Chains A and B, each alone.
Chain A
Amino acid sequence: DVQLLESGGGLVQPGGSLRLSCAASGFTFNTYAMGWVRQAPGKGLEWVAGIRDSGTTTTYADSVRGRITISRDNSKNTLYLQMNTLRVEDTAIYYCAKEPQYCSRNSCYFDYWGQGTLVTVSS
């Protein structure tokens, strides 16, 4: 079974940093693109960042570009999200999610999601 287990969330002050991890199992990690999606308390879903299977191509939402870096270690089956210069509005549950095998330029979705890790940015 596909499993995605996030960790690394917590309380951080504005301007601080945090690194989230997502341990993947149950599938051939290095052949799938992955992404992070967040959900502020009581709000909807917001895509944050994505990374291709090899890790060579990354994409970001405008709201986080320049402050957040997505990466992966295929030897460890692990996805990361390095979050710097955190703002109060970055407070959210961060979900790690897996893309299916075949996505096209305008057609893609997330077929599996982790349970999420809560990031709280507050002084």
Chain B
Amino acid sequence: EIVLTQSPATLSLSPGERATLSCRASQSVSSYLAWYQQKPGQAPRLLIYDASNRATGIPARFSGSGSGTDFTLTISSLEPEDFAVYYCQQRRNWDTWTFGQGTKVEIK
């Protein structure tokens, strides 16, 4: 089973700052990694799929990069609505889905 480890657990930043979130896989997942955003009381929303492709309607300030075991989600300039929890996710062999434990981006 692949384990996804996200860091840091919490990121304290101010609006306008750059956010860099990390997701590390316990073994190579090629470029098959997705990122989600979840705000309090809401369902997760797909941001990035296949490591670097923005989902429909996602602003350009969100970008994803990486391959193999190391991945990064970058928010170039934080907007007030970007303060949320972010999860990475991978699927393996059709039937094993794994989520990271999440990174909370909070207002400093």
Picked from B56, B91, B102, the residue with its CB within 8 Å of the CB of A108 is: B91
A109 touches B95 (CB 8 A): no
Given A45-B44, A95-B43, A113-B45, decide whether A105 and B93 contact each other with a Cβ distance below 8 A: yes
Give Cα A112–Cα B36 distance, bound, in whole angstroms: 11
A44 touches B102 (CB 8 A): yes
Closest beta carbon of chain B to A18's beta carbon, Å: 20
A53 at the interface (CB under 8 A from B): no
Classify chain A's interface size: 20 to 34
Give Cα A37–Cα B50 distance, bound, in whole angstroms: 20
A47 touches B97 (CB 8 A): yes
Chain A residues with CB under 8 A of B26: none
Give the residues from 26 to 84 in chain A that come closer than 8 angstroms, CB to CB, to chain B: 35, 37, 44-47, 50, 59-61
Annotate A103-123 by CB proximity to B: 1 below 8 A, 0 otherwise: 111111111111110000000
A109 touches B93 (CB 8 A): no
Given A44-B102, A45-B99, A46-B99, decide whether A110 and B46 contact each other with a Cβ distance below 8 A: yes
Picked from A50, A59, A109, A115, the residue with its CB within 8 Å of the CB of B46 is: A109
A50 touches B29 (CB 8 A): no
Given A46-B99, A47-B97, A50-B95, decide whether A109 and B43 contact each other with a Cβ distance below 8 A: no
Closest beta carbon of chain A to B3's beta carbon, Å: 13
Closest beta carbon of chain A to B34's beta carbon, Å: 4
B87 touches A106 (CB 8 A): no
Given A44-B102, A46-B99, A50-B97, decide whether A106 and B45 contact each other with a Cβ distance below 8 A: no
Chain A residues with CB under 8 A of B90: 106
Give Cα A35–Cα B95 distance, bound, in whole angstroms: 11
Binding site for A on B (CB under 8 A): 29-30, 32, 34, 36, 38, 42-46, 49-50, 55-56, 87, 89-95, 97-102
18 pairs of residues in contact across A and B, judged by CB atoms under 8 Å: A44-B99, A45-B36, A45-B38, A45-B87, A45-B99, A47-B97, A47-B99, A50-B95, A50-B97, A95-B44, A104-B32, A110-B34, A110-B44, A111-B55, A113-B43, A113-B45, A115-B43, A116-B43
